Amino acid sequence: MSLKENGMMFILSSPSGVGKTTLTKKLSANNKNFVISVSHTTRKSRPNEIDGKDYHFVDESKFNLLIKSKNFFEYAKIFNNYYGTLKQPVIDLLSQGKDVLFDIDWQGTQQLKKIKDLKLVTFFILPPNKKVLKERLLTRHEGQEKMIIERMNKFTQELSHWNEYNYVVVNDDLEECYNKILNIIISEKKGKKEIQDMKEIKSRIDKLMQ
Protein backbone atom coordinates (compact mmCIF):
# COMPACT_ATOMS: atom_id res chain seq x y z
CA MET A 1 0.00 0.00 0.00
CA SER A 2 1.20 3.52 -0.73
CA LEU A 3 1.31 5.91 2.18
CA LYS A 4 1.77 8.95 -0.03
CA GLU A 5 -1.74 10.37 0.32
CA ASN A 6 -2.10 9.74 4.05
CA GLY A 7 -1.07 11.30 7.37
CA MET A 8 2.48 12.34 8.17
CA MET A 9 4.98 11.00 10.69
CA PHE A 10 6.80 13.30 13.11
CA ILE A 11 9.70 11.97 15.14
CA LEU A 12 11.00 13.67 18.27
CA SER A 13 14.37 12.43 19.53
CA SER A 14 16.70 13.77 22.18
CA PRO A 15 19.14 12.67 24.83
CA SER A 16 17.34 11.38 27.91
CA GLY A 17 15.78 14.03 30.14
CA VAL A 18 15.36 16.81 27.57
CA GLY A 19 11.56 16.72 27.75
CA LYS A 20 10.47 15.17 24.47
CA THR A 21 7.85 12.96 26.13
CA THR A 22 6.21 16.05 27.68
CA LEU A 23 6.37 17.77 24.29
CA THR A 24 4.83 14.84 22.39
CA LYS A 25 2.04 14.56 24.98
CA LYS A 26 1.34 18.29 24.76
CA LEU A 27 1.25 18.17 20.96
CA SER A 28 -1.28 15.34 20.92
CA ALA A 29 -3.38 16.78 23.77
CA ASN A 30 -3.79 20.11 21.94
CA ASN A 31 -4.19 18.85 18.38
CA LYS A 32 -6.95 16.40 17.56
CA ASN A 33 -5.24 15.04 14.46
CA PHE A 34 -2.02 14.04 16.24
CA VAL A 35 -1.76 10.57 17.73
CA ILE A 36 1.23 9.28 19.69
CA SER A 37 2.63 5.94 18.61
CA VAL A 38 2.72 3.69 21.69
CA SER A 39 5.94 1.65 21.68
CA HIS A 40 6.58 -1.82 23.04
CA THR A 41 9.33 -2.08 25.63
CA THR A 42 10.95 -4.69 27.85
CA ARG A 43 11.79 -2.11 30.51
CA LYS A 44 9.89 -2.11 33.80
CA SER A 45 7.11 0.44 34.10
CA ARG A 46 7.66 3.52 36.27
CA PRO A 47 5.11 4.27 39.02
CA ASN A 48 3.16 6.86 37.03
CA GLU A 49 3.11 4.89 33.76
CA ILE A 50 0.07 3.07 32.37
CA ASP A 51 0.39 -0.12 30.32
CA GLY A 52 -1.07 0.41 26.84
CA LYS A 53 -0.94 4.21 27.16
CA ASP A 54 2.68 5.11 27.87
CA TYR A 55 4.11 1.84 26.57
CA HIS A 56 3.08 -1.73 25.97
CA PHE A 57 5.19 -3.41 28.64
CA VAL A 58 6.25 -6.88 27.53
CA ASP A 59 8.90 -9.44 28.49
CA GLU A 60 11.89 -10.29 26.30
CA SER A 61 10.40 -13.49 24.91
CA LYS A 62 7.30 -11.64 23.66
CA PHE A 63 9.52 -8.90 22.21
CA ASN A 64 11.69 -11.48 20.43
CA LEU A 65 8.59 -13.09 18.98
CA LEU A 66 7.51 -9.74 17.53
CA ILE A 67 10.99 -9.31 16.01
CA LYS A 68 10.92 -12.77 14.48
CA SER A 69 7.46 -12.30 12.99
CA LYS A 70 8.66 -9.01 11.46
CA ASN A 71 5.99 -6.97 13.22
CA PHE A 72 8.24 -4.01 14.00
CA PHE A 73 8.73 -0.92 11.86
CA GLU A 74 11.85 -0.35 13.92
CA TYR A 75 13.36 -1.45 17.21
CA ALA A 76 16.46 -0.78 19.26
CA LYS A 77 18.29 -1.76 22.42
CA ILE A 78 18.67 1.24 24.74
CA PHE A 79 20.05 1.12 28.31
CA ASN A 80 19.82 -2.71 28.33
CA ASN A 81 16.15 -2.73 27.36
CA TYR A 82 14.41 -3.20 24.03
CA TYR A 83 12.07 -0.61 22.53
CA GLY A 84 10.12 -0.92 19.29
CA THR A 85 7.32 0.46 17.12
CA LEU A 86 4.83 -1.95 15.61
CA LYS A 87 4.07 -1.50 11.90
CA GLN A 88 0.33 -2.17 11.73
CA PRO A 89 -1.03 0.39 14.24
CA VAL A 90 1.00 3.13 12.54
CA ILE A 91 -0.16 2.14 9.05
CA ASP A 92 -3.78 2.10 10.29
CA LEU A 93 -3.49 5.59 11.79
CA LEU A 94 -1.80 7.03 8.70
CA SER A 95 -4.44 5.56 6.42
CA GLN A 96 -7.13 7.21 8.58
CA GLY A 97 -5.37 10.50 7.80
CA LYS A 98 -3.93 10.90 11.31
CA ASP A 99 -0.51 12.41 11.90
CA VAL A 100 1.58 10.13 14.07
CA LEU A 101 4.08 11.38 16.67
CA PHE A 102 7.04 9.21 17.65
CA ASP A 103 9.11 9.54 20.81
CA ILE A 104 11.97 7.31 19.64
CA ASP A 105 15.76 7.41 19.60
CA TRP A 106 18.28 7.93 16.77
CA GLN A 107 18.55 4.18 16.04
CA GLY A 108 14.82 3.93 15.34
CA THR A 109 14.91 7.16 13.34
CA GLN A 110 17.68 5.78 11.13
CA GLN A 111 15.58 2.67 10.45
CA LEU A 112 12.42 4.63 9.60
CA LYS A 113 14.38 6.96 7.31
CA LYS A 114 15.36 3.96 5.19
CA ILE A 115 11.73 2.99 4.49
CA LYS A 116 10.43 4.25 1.15
CA ASP A 117 7.31 6.42 0.76
CA LEU A 118 6.99 7.52 4.40
CA LYS A 119 6.22 11.20 4.88
CA LEU A 120 8.65 11.65 7.72
CA VAL A 121 9.77 14.84 9.49
CA THR A 122 12.37 14.51 12.22
CA PHE A 123 13.15 16.75 15.20
CA PHE A 124 16.14 16.61 17.51
CA ILE A 125 15.51 18.36 20.83
CA LEU A 126 18.38 19.91 22.79
CA PRO A 127 18.59 20.92 26.45
CA PRO A 128 19.62 24.57 26.99
CA ASN A 129 22.79 23.34 28.74
CA LYS A 130 24.21 20.35 30.63
CA LYS A 131 23.45 21.79 34.07
CA VAL A 132 19.72 22.00 33.34
CA LEU A 133 19.77 18.46 31.93
CA LYS A 134 21.37 17.08 35.09
CA GLU A 135 18.84 18.91 37.27
CA ARG A 136 15.95 17.45 35.20
CA LEU A 137 17.38 13.93 35.51
CA LEU A 138 17.84 14.41 39.28
CA THR A 139 14.18 15.35 39.62
CA ARG A 140 13.00 12.45 37.47
CA HIS A 141 15.22 9.74 38.95
CA GLU A 142 15.51 10.94 42.53
CA GLY A 143 17.84 8.70 44.53
CA GLN A 144 18.95 6.69 41.48
CA GLU A 145 22.50 8.06 41.13
CA LYS A 146 23.65 5.12 38.98
CA MET A 147 20.95 5.77 36.40
CA ILE A 148 21.70 9.50 36.31
CA ILE A 149 25.42 8.87 35.71
CA GLU A 150 24.58 6.31 33.01
CA ARG A 151 22.26 8.75 31.22
CA MET A 152 24.71 11.68 31.47
CA ASN A 153 27.46 9.43 30.04
CA LYS A 154 25.27 8.50 27.10
CA PHE A 155 24.47 12.16 26.43
CA THR A 156 27.42 12.98 24.13
CA GLN A 157 26.95 9.81 22.11
CA GLU A 158 23.27 10.56 21.53
CA LEU A 159 24.00 14.23 20.80
CA SER A 160 26.40 13.23 18.01
CA HIS A 161 23.38 12.20 15.89
CA TRP A 162 21.85 15.70 15.77
CA ASN A 163 22.73 16.26 12.10
CA GLU A 164 20.71 13.22 10.97
CA TYR A 165 17.53 15.21 11.74
CA ASN A 166 15.53 17.75 9.69
CA TYR A 167 15.16 20.20 12.58
CA VAL A 168 17.00 20.97 15.82
CA VAL A 169 14.99 22.74 18.53
CA VAL A 170 16.09 23.85 22.02
CA ASN A 171 13.83 23.04 24.97
CA ASP A 172 14.66 25.93 27.30
CA ASP A 173 11.14 27.23 27.76
CA LEU A 174 8.57 24.43 27.20
CA GLU A 175 5.89 26.71 25.71
CA GLU A 176 8.36 28.32 23.28
CA CYS A 177 9.77 24.97 22.20
CA TYR A 178 6.26 23.55 21.75
CA ASN A 179 5.22 26.50 19.57
CA LYS A 180 8.35 26.19 17.43
CA ILE A 181 7.71 22.50 16.77
CA LEU A 182 4.01 23.07 16.10
CA ASN A 183 4.76 25.87 13.61
CA ILE A 184 7.24 23.65 11.77
CA ILE A 185 4.67 20.83 11.66
CA ILE A 186 2.03 23.21 10.28
CA SER A 187 4.47 24.39 7.58
CA GLU A 188 5.51 20.86 6.70
CA LYS A 189 1.84 19.84 6.41
CA LYS A 190 1.56 22.56 3.74
CA GLY A 191 4.67 21.20 2.03
CA LYS A 192 6.90 24.05 3.21
CA LYS A 193 10.29 23.64 4.89
CA GLU A 194 11.39 26.02 7.67
CA ILE A 195 14.90 27.44 7.46
CA GLN A 196 17.04 27.09 10.57
CA ASP A 197 20.16 29.00 11.59
CA MET A 198 22.68 26.18 11.25
CA LYS A 199 25.57 28.30 12.53
CA GLU A 200 23.76 28.97 15.80
CA ILE A 201 22.77 25.32 16.16
CA LYS A 202 26.33 24.12 15.48
CA SER A 203 27.74 26.46 18.12
CA ARG A 204 25.17 25.21 20.66
CA ILE A 205 26.11 21.60 19.89
CA ASP A 206 29.82 22.40 20.26
CA LYS A 207 29.15 23.87 23.73
CA LEU A 208 27.06 20.87 24.80
CA MET A 209 29.77 18.46 23.58
CA GLN A 210 32.43 20.06 25.84
Which residues make up the interface to ligand 5GP (CB under 6 A)?
A: 16, 39, 43, 74, 76, 78, 83-85, 103-105, 107-108
Pick between residue 2 and residue 48 the one whose CB is nearest to ligand 5GP.
48
Pick between residue 43 and residue 119 the one whose CB is nearest to ligand 5GP.
43
Residue 56 C-beta: closest distance to ligand 5GP, Å: 10
Residue 69 C-beta: closest distance to ligand 5GP, Å: 17
Inter-axis angle of helices 145-159 and 130-140, nearest 10: 140
Instruction: For residue 122, give the 3-state DSSP assignment.
Output: strand
Close Cβ partners of 112 (under 8 Å, ≥ 6 residues apart): 9, 11, 73, 74, 85, 102, 104, 118, 120
DSSP codes, 53-103: TTBEE--HHHHHHHHHTT-EEEEEEETTEEEEEEHHHHHHHHHTT-EEEEE
Pick between residue 78 and residue 177 the one whose CB is nearest to ligand 5GP.
78
Pick between residue 76 and residue 185 the one whose CB is nearest to ligand 5GP.
76
Residue 162 C-beta: closest distance to ligand 5GP, Å: 14
Residue closest to ligand 5GP when measured from CB atoms: 108
